[in-house]
Amino acid sequence: MISSSGGLGSNNSGAEDPPTPSPGVALGFSKSTFTYEELAMATDDFSDANLLGQGGFGYVHRGALADGKEVAIKQLKPGSGQGEREFQAEVEIISRVHHKHLVSLVGYCISGGKRLLVYEFVPNNTLGFHLHGKGQPTMEWSIRLRIALGSAKGLAYLHEDCHPKIIHRDIKASNILLDYKYEAKVADFGLAKFASDTDTHISTRVMGTFGYLAPEYASSGKLTDKSDVFSFGVMLLELITGRRPIDSSQTFTDESLVDWARPLLARALDDGNYDALVDPRLGKKYNLSEMARMVSCAAACVRHSARRRPRMSQIARALEGDTCLEDLNEGIRPGHSMYHTSYGSSDYDSGQYSEDIREFRKMVMGTEENATGESIMPTAEYAQNPSTSSSEGRHTQEIEMGKKKDVSEKGG
């Protein structure tokens, strides 16, 4: 199980086997167990031709089981205590969730020091690939809205329909898998955590992804479901603007997507003109009322004050047009409310957030010339042909009590 500090011990050397799995993991909650030999056969001995992606703690291969079912097989690198923690978190959590907008766990394998997770194969890569990948066609507005709505419903299920609730902790565009109809599935539960309704988790190990971290989590380790809501709001801003959360070409000086967007969000919600916000590749090819709903949702999600962010079920209803936007914005005119009230007088102001994030990024990335400034937690990215989605390398980080631990990672 995951401990209150974020996980199990991580002092295993490469020569030692990982800790013995907990009984819950060993049972696997009735999920299928596979032998290592079965999975090796399914992936043609984990051949490079079947490699979907790789990260600091493992590899993801495409495979075909004996019954013909296509799967994605995530193999953790041996000898990593953090990898073992991720494995146990994913088996325990994903085994309990069942939703059309969450990736499904088919089974797992424990073989000596080897740990493997077997997922349903989702064939059409990630939102990050389609939105930011070089040479990709412009994603139509209707597809963007569909992805936002599906992701919102999946996250609402984790927060509100699971008992105890599940906090994902790493919502980002590269963790949203897509099928050929562009239906979204939330993936990568390696950082996820169970939480009671009254639980406010304080972690000394801040993990997640630059540009997506909620201010209260980045600054103090204070973690609630509203931390996921903030990250989802950043992802909505990506869908609206076509921009990345962090401009990696200006790692220390440029503002984040949230900082850039905040005054534009307020202005757009006041005057109904979205030209300054909308992805220029879209031009005017979007539905105005749908854009107004998504912009309102994004603005509400990235409020500084966690308690004033909406629930994910509210966001899903708003994206569907099933709720009044004034309800989302506390009954006050959206532009005025969010800019002057939610932002200006919150218990954690914009300037302080920007400064904290800037110092945080400098601490963990100051020695890396080629870092993109994105991920600070190693994950085995699930992405077909990972080299085509980005030409940039990625540097992943974990921060524990202000000390730096780093792992180089290829982009996925």
44 and 118 in contact (C-beta within 8 Å)? no
Tokens of 14: 């490469």
Detail the residues annotated as belonging to a binding site.
74
Instruction: Select which of 45, 170, 228, 275 is catalytic.
Output: 170
Alpha-carbon distance of 20 to 148, in angstroms, equals 39
Give binding residues for ATP as ranges: 74
The candidate with the shortest Cα–Cα distance to 251, out of 351, 352, 363, 127, is: 363
Q: To which H or E segment does residue 270 belong?
A: helix 257-271
Question: What is the end-to-end Cα distance of the chain in Å, rounded?
Answer: 28
Three-state SS at 115: strand
* Phi then psi dihedrals of residue 105, to 5 deg: -90, 125
Torsion angle (degrees, nearest 10) of CA 38, 44, 50, 55: 60
Question: 4 near 84, Cβ under 8 Å?
Answer: no
**Separation of alpha carbons 188 and 131, rounded Å:** 19
SS3 labels along 135-186: CCCCCCHHHHHHHHHHHHHHHHHHHHHCCCEEECCCCCHHHEEECCCCCEEE
- Decide if 254 is catalytic: no
Q: Which residues are catalytic?
A: 170
